[in-house]
Amino acid sequence: MNHHLLLIIHLLSAAIWVGGHILLCVAYLPKALKEKDTKIILNYEKKYEPVGMTSLFLLVVTGILMAYKYGVTINYWFQFATPIESVVSSKLILLFTTAAFALSAQFRVLPKLKTNPRKLPEMTFHIVSVTTIGILMLIFGSFIRFGGF
Ligand code: HEM
């Protein structure tokens, strides 16, 4: 697929992934904490999850395809030998960290959050971490057009 088209899909997906998490952080999370109402987060997650997970999937697929177009194939990952490869490898590490947070939220925190508002601080930590990582991935991605780091 054409690199420009891949980049457009990557940017649209980044807008949905990062934007959706920022909205959760600045609008829904403070309300849930103030009212100690876990349903506010659970309802948002339910609506956002299909679109959020699709955008994350598209970010990974388009990101890897673009990395290949830059010559950063799987054999070069995690060597931190060239500037573009360093950005790609850093983004992959952040991606694995995101996956770890998502699994932990899905299997450890969310099931208990349904009945126990005392899990709200732990959920807050997960949400703020995934949002920060998403913003970092966006910033790291922006380095590629300047030659990487
Ligand atoms: C939450 C996940 C991600 C976000 C928010 C994100 C965001 C971005 C943004 C904003 C750009 C800048 C494009 C530009 O300069 O116009 C970018 C570029 C890029 N990203 Fe990602 N990205 C994510 C995941 C990934 C993954 C998993 C990979 C693959 C390992 C990847 C590989 C790339 C590449 C190769 C570029 C350079 C595209 C180009 O300018 O030609 N990204 N990303």
Ligand 1 centroid distance, CA of 123 (Å): 27
Spatial distance between the Cα atoms of 70 and 113, rounded to a whole number of angstroms: 43
Give the dihedral of Cα atoms 70, 6, 132, 32; nearest 10 deg.
Answer: -170
Instruction: Report pLDDT digits (tens) over 99-128.
Output: 999 999 989 998 898 888 899 999 999 999
Which range marks the domain in which residue 63 is found?
A: 3-71+78-146
CA distances from 133 to 81, 96, 97, 128, 140 (A): 23, 11, 8, 9, 10
Long-range contact pairs involving 143-146 (C-beta distance under 8 Å, separation at least 24): 143/87, 144/70, 144/84, 144/87
What is the pLDDT, as a whole number, of residue 29? Answer: 98
Number of domains in the chain: 1
Spatial distance between the Cα atoms of 23 and 31, rounded to a whole number of angstroms: 12
Atom of ligand 1 nearest to the CA of 135: 5
Q: Report the chain's mean pLDDT, rounded to a whole number.
A: 96
Which residues lie with the beta carbon below 6 Å from any ligand 1 atom? Answer: 7, 10-11, 14, 17-18, 59-60, 63-64, 66-67, 70, 88, 91-92, 95, 134, 137-138, 141-142, 144-145
Ligand 1 centroid distance, CA of 81 (Å): 19
Work out whether the CA dihedral 108, 114, 119, 120 comes out positive or negative.
positive
Instruction: Report pLDDT digits (tens) over 57-93.
Output: 999 999 999 999 999 999 999 999 999 999 999 999 9
In the chain, % of residues over pLDDT 90: 93
In the chain, % of residues over pLDDT 70: 100
Provide the 3-class DSSP secondary structure of residue 124. Answer: helix
Bin 80: left if φ > 0, else alpha if -120 < ψ < 50, else beta.
left
User: Nearest Cα to 139, choosing from 8, 14, 13?
Assistant: 14
